[in-house]
A = this chain, B = another copy of it.
Amino acid sequence: MTVRTGIFGATGYTGVELVKILARHPAVEIRFVSSQSSAGQMLTAVAPTAPPLPLVPPQDAPLDEIDVAFLCLPHGAAAETAVACLDAGVKVIDLSADFRLRDAAVYEQWYGARHPAPELLAEAVYGLTEFARDALSGVRLVANPGCYPTSILLAVQPILQAGLAAGTIIADSKSGVSGAGRAPKQSTHFVEVADNFSAYNIGQVHRHWPEITQGFGLWQANPPDLIFSPHLLPVPRGILSTIYAPLQPGWRLADVWALYAQTYADEPFVQVLAPGQLASLAHVTHTNRCAIGLAQAGETLLLTSAIDNLVKGAAGQAVQNMNVMLGLAETMGLE
């Protein structure tokens, strides 16, 4: 079986990472990579170690030649391209935010625009792979989770599912600069970022807040409140979320650790660290893994959760979702 794929928005950091993964994937053929701004160039002109593929304008992308489209596009544009792909019978894995929020009104509130394709929201599967396998099988539209949400949701799922959470969860997250995108901005200038560290959009105002909150609701009827504080790290890639979760009184770390160990016992991409170990970016960069560490302070569970924002937080999880969607081995191309 060969899966014919096309990548829209291939020149962003997520796009390049995805093309590199797909180029190594034994069951995948890349039929096209597209870019609005760099069409006509080779992908290597943008990313020297990427495969030497020509960039086509998105309007010239041959949808009739592919089975699966990956959308590494800005929100809004992604939904419009998704509609075109689905109309052409092409399955879609969307790495933008367009199909992550199930409620078009919530989308409009947070993204400041009407949803371009609200009729597809009910159909889209939120692809946090470890908890979406049944839903993913055979589906035609996958909403690939955001990077921060992936790091946080994988870390808190066991306590929410078990009903252990007992108060506001605080996620203090730190991300590498590739999460801010490839377009040059003052805030991503080397001189502004190097030797610096800063918080931004903290509390309940970042666009990933409603996505994470919605995720909480998957596992607990009246989920706890969330405070989410992103920070910008002077590194190219990686996210570490330090999470503070008050649990029901009297809990013991050994028991909670056992719950995590059991939940993720057979997961190839989630690593529960030994008791006492804390996650770091070094556990995960350039891998599709999430590493989770557990510690205790009184009644509060301290979770450290690390992913590579470009891999498990974007391109890697997208390929993992494709594998599940199509019935391939889930780890194919990802190890």
Which residues of A are in contact with B by a Cβ distance under 8 Å?
A: 13, 24, 48-49, 168, 170, 172, 174, 177-178, 182, 184-186, 188-200, 202-204, 225, 227, 229, 231, 233-238, 240, 242, 244, 278-287, 289, 291, 293, 295-298, 300, 302, 304, 335
* Binding site secondary structure of chain A: mixed
**Identical chains in the assembly:** 4
Closest 8 CB pairs of A and B: A198-B280, A203-B297, A184-B184, A172-B172, A190-B193, A48-B283, A177-B190, A199-B278
Write out the residue numbers on chain B whose beta carbons fall within 8 Å of the beta carbon of A284.
48-49
Q: Give 13 new A-B contacts, CB below 8 A, not counting A170-B244, A227-B298.
A: A48-B291, A168-B300, A170-B170, A172-B244, A177-B189, A182-B189, A188-B189, A190-B193, A196-B235, A197-B235, A197-B238, A202-B295, A227-B302
Selected from B49, B191, B244, B283, the residue in CB contact (under 8 A) with A244 is B244
Given contacts A184-B186, A242-B172, contact A298 B236 (CB under 8 A): no
A242 & B285 in contact (Cβ 8 Å cutoff): no
Write out the residue numbers on chain B whose beta carbons fall within 8 Å of the beta carbon of A194.
177, 190, 194-195, 234-236
B298 & A225 in contact (Cβ 8 Å cutoff): yes
Give CA–CA (A297, B304) in the complex, Å: 22
